[in-house]
Amino acid sequence: MPSNPTEYQNLETPAGTNSAWLEKSQTGAKRSKWIVIGSLVTLAALIAVGVSLGVVLSKKSSGASASGSGGGGGGSGTPPGTNPNDPSNFQKNPALKTSFWGIAYNPLGSLLPDCGCTLDQVIEDVQLLSQVTTRIRLYGSDCNQSSLVLAAIQETKVNLSVYLGNYPEATDNGTAYERQKGEIQTALQTYGANNVLGVTVGNEFILNYVTEAGSSDPNGAAGQQAAAMLIPWIKDTRSMLQGMGMGNMPVGTSDAGSYFNNQVLENVDYGMANVHPWFANVSITDAAAWTADFFETNDVVLANSLSNKPQMYIAETGWPTNTSTFNYNPNDGPSVASVANLQYFIDTFVCQANKNGTGYFFFEFCDEPWKAVTYGGVEGYWGLFDSNKIFKNLTIPTCS
């Protein structure tokens, strides 16, 4: 049985976050139906039969509530006759299908300094995630999230693999990078690499650095300065993996789809590009086609022009389902944030991307309330599940 990683050793406050049009990063009620069926044939028979049926049907109703579409997460209950202490025995939600190539995942409580992520919480997340995809990506490794995710995958025994992440800062002389490098190394030493697909170094690092410098050119002076910091960390991560006997593990980076620095891409095995039609002010009817075209034209073509030809994936794409009044911009785009429009994007993007062989991480697992409070607008409402891990009123298409 994997150990329970619980110690949080690094409690510094992360640097601020910036937003741009292709940027997106970090971060019911259980129904119980009591059905009493009876008929007024005789009073004595009514009591005996009614009580018996009431108990049996309430149990069935409770189980249906936990697994039905839109009515529950489907990851916390255990099937009858199984060991409730075994995380690999959990109630499946029939509304969920493993049709998504990948899902972007940020465990709640995995941001410094307020680490609150627990193994039980991540196990519940992994139980749900494994029902919609076989791949997830993390953004960073603070708060033991690398170890927690790998431990949860092993305990649940699900078919799920992960791209680990290191989220370095440009202004701390490598402190955040080194801290997370240590977390990744510990996770790999403890849980092995069987469920690890790669290590991603940097998340919108070039975008943030370049835009803070007042530029928009990832290959200009500011972009080259950012690359001079990021490339040594990428090489150092590769050296760490080689020293652990894991030299074949891919090392990549993630950035906004129009902010890749050529030199950075020349030093990675893969790149992950955020491609959000919402922030490009694209209508929902054109969103899927625009996403595919933008990714191919800006990211795949660039990668294929380089000598190493890194594999390219879509790091984030999706559609928001709500917006908050704080920092609300009514001109965000021609189509509203709604569950219906998320459904439309799922219907027009997911199976076609799978058919085309496009690797993508749908954004995201569940709504993140802290983003709605901190940033406002649509920031907190991109999940397939709401913040209580209840599956939204969606239908997942059947596609491999």
CATH number at residue 180: 3.20.20.80
| Residue 106 belongs to some domain of the structure | yes
Percentage of the chain exceeding pLDDT 70: 78
Which residues of the chain fall below pLDDT 50? 8-71
| Residue 394 belongs to some domain of the structure | no
| Distance (Å, whole) CA 269 – CA 258 | 18
| Residue 33 belongs to some domain of the structure | no
Quick one: pLDDT at residue 274? 98
Quick one: pLDDT at residue 80? 62
Per DSSP bridges, beta strands 135-137 and 103-104 are: parallel
Quick one: pLDDT at residue 82? 64
The count of structural domains within the chain is 1
Quick one: pLDDT at residue 114? 87
| Residue 64 belongs to some domain of the structure | no
Domain enclosing residue 352, as ranges:
95-385
| Residue 2 belongs to some domain of the structure | no
| Residue 27 belongs to some domain of the structure | no
Quick one: pLDDT at residue 47? 33
Quick one: pLDDT at residue 18? 35
Quick one: pLDDT at residue 83? 72
**Which of 156, 104, 165 has the alpha carbon at shortest distance from 133?**
104
| Residue 220 belongs to some domain of the structure | yes
Quick one: pLDDT at residue 91? 94
Quick one: pLDDT at residue 279? 93
Quick one: pLDDT at residue 381? 96
Quick one: pLDDT at residue 2? 53
| Residue 235 belongs to some domain of the structure | yes
